[in-house]
Chain A
Amino acid sequence: MTRRLSIFNVTSLVMGFAFLYLPILLLVVYSFNASRLVTVWGGFSTQWYGALFRNQALMEAAWVTLRIALLSASIATVLGTLAALALTRYGRFPGRTLFTGMVYAPMVMPEVVTGLSLLLFFVAVDLDRGFWTITLAHTTLTMCFVTVVVQARLMTFDRSLEEAAMDLGAPPLRTFFSVTLPLIAPSIVAGFLLAFTLSLDDLVVASFNTGPGATTLPIKIYSQVRLGLSPEINAASTILIGLVTLGVILATLISKRSVLRSRRNAH
């Protein structure tokens, strides 16, 4: 089957990707601007990167964000994987409908509502707002995304592999750890990365649940942006974009290898 790209197809692809990438590119370019004014080019300079690393508050916010993201993504990965197993492997159990609803609801719930409801909960149980409340909130928000990713893998999982392991003498728990877990591991890693990024990125839920000493990077950036554009933010963004791009390229290379392997498997 030959599919040919028409001029129209090529044009829409070029325009589409230009639309997606031009703003990011401009942001990166202007982080090397010598001028204090973000939109006026004043020559090449890396001074804002220096200023960024000297900005104690920003560095601290980055550190808090990273810790929250790591911790919440780790817990969310465990909980999300368990939920995915429950949904695919446990058939009907009491309250399954409610469970399914609760798994999917946080994904479609507006962030302002999730943020507000969790805050009111933390106030009601008298938990001091700060690092832990944001972590708990992010875990709840992101575990659902982990569930969806892992569940998709489990649904295409060849059950006869597990049956073969049991047939060969492996009890259920050992079957899980020696066959199921290694095979769904890529989706669990993908789920973790998704949860990590979402937590890193979240402004709304974190704003509701933050407290003294727990200012995350998005909250910091948001308050600075409201005061006006700053080349320092451009520099911080460029570093973040660079890290994410590197991570995505690495992840793509790794998954490409496993896709190739499984594709050969299918023949």
Chain B
Amino acid sequence: MPPPSRQSASVGAVRRAFAPWADPDAKPLIRFENVTKRFGEAVAVDHLTLDIFEGEFFCLLGPSGCGKTTLMRMLAGFEFPTEGMITLAGQSLEGVPPYRRPVNMMFQSYALFPHMSVEKNIAFGLRQDGLPKSEISDRVGEMLRLVQLEKLAKRYPSQLSGGQRQRVALARALAKRPKVLLLDEPLGALDKKLREETQFELMDIQHELGMTFVVVTHDQEEAMTMADRIAVMDHGRIVQVATPGEIYEQPKTRFIAEFVGDVNILEGHVQGQESGLWHVKSPSAEMPLTIDDPDEVLHSGQAVAIAVRPEKMVVQREKPGPEAVNVLTGEVWDIGYLGDWTVYRIRLATGEILRVSCANISRFVESPIDWDEQVYVTFAPGAAVILAE
């Protein structure tokens, strides 16, 4: 499904040179074909098909219980599909136990062996392969340098901080140079500041080693920052697979729009199309709304949802001129000052509450908007996405 050129040039703020998924001749490294996993009655993964390419930083994103962890555990070999097939580099993984797969995993709990030193933990996988001692110690040294833990080689996991343990777990999983590295909520146990630093470090390491990373996370910010592509999962199915920019700016469903970032949803009915722009009649606005979303195929009278991100709306005190499109009126219900942003909650006549965020580009504001003021909210036709209901 190659998106139209106009879109691919503009969706999101990142230009990508690496995009094997857009190349119809590229062979995937990992392929899930119609995979289903049931635990008794419960369906964890439901007829799922997915390709992951070599060198990708791939994120599985979804709420807890969506099946993302089961998907990863099937890749590691701890679970086996009830139906369907998983292939790695063209080879079926059916019946291959975890200890015979060229795939390593970094566990959410890190699962560091408490009775082994940092060194021994990292060497564990290499020792299983029966590598000569000198090679093992070389590789362990290399890994310790990579995660900057040379000084702590003799320590035990209990003597390390959370961030250090995370690095040991990463080094241990990388030591065998697996074809694919699986990371289960890799940053979940770190505090916010460390998490941000580590995100970029993980990206650097992945880039340096050219390895394929598959990350499971429930944190959309983490996925947005790190991933080449994100697969959003819900109820055992993949709802959308796309780059972070596409997921954010071109969500396919209301679930994705609401799960990734904040969004305002306006309900309405399609009136018609005019020079590529859709007109939608919504009870929230006096005049029909004008939306620039040419890919959608809609018919007149169809019920749709219009999704607009808070930062793509403008709030103003003055009434816009007659040429303005997409004007909503309401009163200020709440103001949240966050430093970099100010978030306004605007109550429309219909009772809906809109969330509008403004970047605070100046330190001084003359007569700022106040509580209970009558205001106008506008957005450009290109700021909104139409989601078929």
Contact = CB atoms under 8 A, between A and B. Distances in A.
Question: Within the complex, are A and B direct neighbours (CB within 8 Å)?
Answer: yes
B128 A174 contact: yes
B125 A261 contact: no
A235 B129 CA distance: 59
Nearest to B78: A163
Interface stretch (A11-19, A85-93, A135-143, A164-172): A164-172
Contacts of A183: 114-115
Contacts, number: 71
A2 interface: no
28 contacts: A160-B111, A163-B76, A163-B78, A163-B98, A163-B105, A163-B107, A164-B105, A164-B107, A164-B112, A164-B113, A164-B172, A165-B113, A166-B77, A166-B97, A166-B98, A166-B99, A167-B105, A167-B173, A168-B99, A168-B176, A169-B128, A169-B129, A169-B176, A170-B124, A171-B97, A175-B99, A183-B115, A265-B114
Interface of B: 76-78, 97-100, 103-105, 107-109, 111-115, 124-125, 128-129, 156-159, 172-173, 176
Interface string A160-201: 110111111111001100110011000000000000000000
Given A182-B115, A183-B114, A261-B114, A170 B99 contact: yes
Contacts of A126: none
A185 to B, nearest CB: 9
A9 interface: no
Nearest to A163: B78
A4 interface: no
Given A163-B98, A169-B99, A171-B99, A264 B128 contact: no
A262 interface: yes
Nearest to B100: A169
A129 to B, nearest CB: 44
A179 B115 CA distance: 8
B312 to A, nearest CB: 42
Chain A contact surface mostly: helix
B111 A161 contact: yes
Nearest to B129: A169
A167 B128 contact: no
Contacts of B156: 261
Contacts of A175: 99
Given A164-B172, A183-B115, 12 more contacts: A158-B109, A160-B107, A167-B76, A167-B105, A167-B173, A168-B99, A168-B124, A170-B99, A178-B124, A179-B113, A261-B114, A262-B114
A170 B123 CA distance: 12
Contacts of A174: 128
Interface in A111-155: none
Q: Please provide the 6 A-B residue pairs with the shortest distance between their CB atoms, ordered closest to farther.
A: A168-B125, A169-B128, A164-B111, A265-B158, A160-B111, A264-B158
Nearest to A159: B111
A41 B273 CA distance: 113
Nearest to B104: A167
A23 B169 CA distance: 55
Contacts of A165: 113, 124
Nearest to A164: B111
Given A164-B105, A167-B98, A167-B105, A158 B128 contact: no
